[in-house]
Structure 1
Amino acid sequence: MQAPICIYPATPADAGIISRIIERSIRVGCALEHRNDPQLVSRWIARQSADVISARLADPHCYLNIALLQDKPVGVGMATASGNIGFCHVQPEWFRRGAGRALLTDLEGWLRMHGVPQVSIASTRTGAAFYRHLGYCEAASPASEQGLHCVALHKPLPVPG
């Protein structure tokens, strides 16, 4: 039987662990996207440094969460009040155990509570299948963002009545 996944809202004290989870997810889990190009990896990781994460944690329009599995932080996610999923990263050795789904469910719940009718994300090509599986649809043609190929996806969110 699989251990339960615990999702909790991130705090300022979590900035370092969030940044490290994202970095490992990018370096290992997203290798097909960046093709081990050191400049591309560096630019991608720099956008998720502990300082950048700290600023997002201080922003009341951002919500960051952390997934724990077997009492270990295994994944992180972020949504903005404008309805955008900024990221959803799970450490590669914890893929396909439900952490990503749990993170997204929590992020979507936060967005619903803020009256957001639709969520969007710019996904990597490899991540797009995960989001499609959870009900996301392509919103536009694939594009390129800072050397990475992105797939724009969206999903309607029924707002609680």
Structure 2
Amino acid sequence: MGIEIRQALLSDAPAACALLRRSIAEGCAPDHLGQSDILDNWLGNKTPQTVATWFSTPSNHAVVAERDGQLLGLGLLTQAGKVALCYVLPDTLRAGVGRALLGALEQQARCWSISKLHLHSPASSSAFFERHGYANAGKEKACFGLECDLMWKSLKTDGACDPAARKRFCNCSGE
């Protein structure tokens, strides 16, 4: 498959924004059903400037999936244990990109000693998260007006990572 998962860079923001917008507009069409009020709300904060802000926020960990210089997917984890983004280009669905992104976010969560992750999933994506060990806790209205599934997963945290990656909420040395 030849995909690389790497930390997102500020320079990735325009391409990542375009990827998010396309993934939502096309890949999530079964969820928003072309309803302009929901789609406009969902896309409302998906600008290159906002994406760059997400990438530069110290309490976020953003990763991209890339092949031959093209972004295929984007994932973002907050230090509160929320998988805020996990999107792939519609034409790369079911090719392992989402699995690789989710694996990278879960590894970072373990490094941060986060033992439980949560996210809001559109109905069309819930089965993907369930296949990767997430439990469906029921329906909840997302901030953009779409009814989503509240998903969660417990993680075993073994602390096996770079000590610098363990820093959470402070600039302590971790010792």
Runs of at least 4 residues of structure 1 off by over 3 A? Answer: none
Q: TM-score, normalised by structure 1?
A: 0.93
**By how many angstroms is 1:151 displaced?**
0.4
Tell me the distance in 2 between the aligned counterparts of 1:117 and 1:61: 16
Bigger mean CA offset, 45-54 vs 75-84: 45-54
Is the Cα contact below 8 Å between 2:41 and 2:145 reproduced in 1? no
| Map of 2:89 onto structure 1 | 91
Superposed counterparts of 1:37-48, under 5 Å: 37-48=35-46
1:101-134 deviation per Cα after TM superposition (whole angstroms, max 9, x unaligned): 0000001111110010111111111110000000
Superposed counterparts of 1:46-85, under 5 Å: 46-85=44-83
| Map of 1:144 onto structure 2 | 141
Percent identity between matched residues is: 28
Superposed counterparts of 1:97-112, under 5 Å: 97-112=95-110
| Map of 2:111 onto structure 1 | 113
Query: One-letter code of the match for 1:45?
Result: L
Q: TM-score, normalised by structure 2?
A: 0.86
Structure 2: runs of 5+ lacking an equivalent: 160-175
Is the Cα contact below 8 Å between 2:121 and 2:149 reproduced in 1? yes
Query: One-letter code of the match for 2:145?
Result: G
Structure 1: runs of 5+ lacking an equivalent: none
| Map of 1:135 onto structure 2 | 133
Query: Which has the higher Rg, Structure 1 or Structure 2?
Result: 2
Bigger mean CA offset, 102-111 vs 141-150: 141-150
Report the 3-state secondary structure (helix = DSSP H, G, I; strand = E; otherwise coil) of the residue aligned with 2:12.
Answer: helix
**By how many angstroms is 1:70 displaced?**
4.5
Report the 3-state secondary structure (helix = DSSP H, G, I; strand = E; otherwise coil) of the residue aligned with 1:48.
Answer: coil
1:52-85 deviation per Cα after TM superposition (whole angstroms, max 9, x unaligned): 1111111110011110134421111100011000
Report the 3-state secondary structure (helix = DSSP H, G, I; strand = E; otherwise coil) of the residue aligned with 1:142.
Answer: strand
